[in-house]
A = this chain, B = another copy of it.
């Protein structure tokens, strides 16, 4: 499992005094980018070669609110890695409390939208969550 730290900033909050719901998608996206980098994949170089990861489907549960200055941790693990499709489980914790959970399906495609094999570093993870 991959862990990624997030601090709650002013920009993340809304008038309710808590993190605006859509911003959790940003938090988990940062974690995915860091995870991909940790696997040795250079997203910028991949894109230059015409390969991108696109978010295809997200199911998300908003369980408890987070507030300013809190230190959160995004836990990312692979549920399933197919040929061109990757399903991740991503959870945002404050200490032992899970605040947000999402199941995210990504697809690997060319910039023209044609399916492309996932990078071998990702396919190698299949089953090793």
Complexed CA–CA distance, A61 and B54 (Å) = 11
- Nearest-neighbor residue (CB-CB) of A24 within chain B: B22
A-side interface residues toward B, CB under 8 Å? 7, 9-11, 13-18, 20-23, 25-26, 29-30, 33, 37, 43-44, 47, 52, 54-62, 67-69, 111
Cα of A11 to Cα of B33 in the assembled complex, Å: 11
Residues B55 and A21 in contact, CB atoms below 8 Å apart: yes
In contact, A56 and B62 (Cβ under 8 angstroms): yes
Q: Whole-angstrom distance between the alpha carbons of A22 and B26 in the complex?
A: 7
Q: Provide the bound-state CA to CA distance between A18 and B54, in Å.
A: 11
CB–CB B15/A17 < 8 A: yes
Within the complex, which residue of B17, B21, B29, B33 is in contact with A25, where a contact is CB–CB below 8 Å?
B21
